[in-house]
Chain A
Amino acid sequence: AQSVSQHNHHVILSEAASLELGCNYSYGGTVNLFWYVQYPGQHLQLLLKYFSGDPLVKGIKGFEAEFIKSKFSFNLRKPSVQWSDTAEYFCAVTSGNTGKLIFGQGTTLQVKP
């Protein structure tokens, strides 16, 4: 069955620190991968997506993610976080054949000023 796993449930960083959030998925076929951010009291917002092509994708607000097919991973990175990045981050995957959109458990990021 299709599933998504985020390893870090709660991350605390100081401003300017580098960020990497892990995401692994299980599905043997073609996948589309996403990272979303949810700021307090707001809806999910798409940060970046991977459909095909260059496995290193860049998104909004300085975020990027790398798709490593052999590891079934799609980790999110940011070289230098800001206090305003404090939010919850969700990895998600859809398979190529179905309309099923599955989210990971989410990672709460707290950035200390």
Chain B
Amino acid sequence: DAGITQSPRYKITETGRQVTLMCHQTWSHSYMFWYRQDLGHGLRLIYYSAAADITDKGEVPDGYVVSRSKTENFPLTLESATRSQTSVYFCASSDERRELGEKLFFGSGTQLSVL
């Protein structure tokens, strides 16, 4: 299916485990983003990527790792999950810098609970 898809939709894990959230987009957009959404904090940028093999830290990168070996995929890994990482995670993509923000497409989100 065309669009931006995240998997899984829901995930429960335990403290200390490694978890990978997947994000796949079919438009070949250059820019991809990972946000977490928490009550009172809005959307906070974790990492973003301007192209394949180019990633950069956002506002709250600690405890997270990303990779972008292919343009269409942008997985987010929690190396050792903590309870503070319980959140809803959104992946987003956008095509060109001049349209960044104007044409921004979000995935459906992954609700992660760390017990």
Contact = CB atoms under 8 A, between A and B. Distances in A.
Interface of A: 3, 6, 9, 32, 34, 43-44, 46, 49, 90, 92, 94, 98-106
Query: Per DSSP, are chain B's interface residues mostly helix, strand or loop, or mixed?
Result: strand
Contact of A103 (B45, B48, B97): B45
Given A9-B40, A44-B106, A49-B102, A99 B45 contact: no
B100 A99 contact: yes
A98 B56 CA distance: 10
Contacts of A94: 97, 100-101
Interface of B: 31, 33, 35, 40-45, 48, 50, 56, 58-59, 92, 94, 97, 100-102, 104, 106, 108
A86 to B, nearest CB: 17
Query: Per DSSP, are chain A's interface residues mostly helix, strand or loop, or mixed?
Result: strand
21 contacts: A3-B59, A34-B102, A43-B108, A44-B43, A46-B101, A46-B102, A94-B97, A94-B100, A98-B56, A99-B31, A100-B56, A101-B33, A101-B48, A101-B92, A101-B94, A101-B100, A102-B45, A103-B42, A103-B44, A104-B42, A105-B42
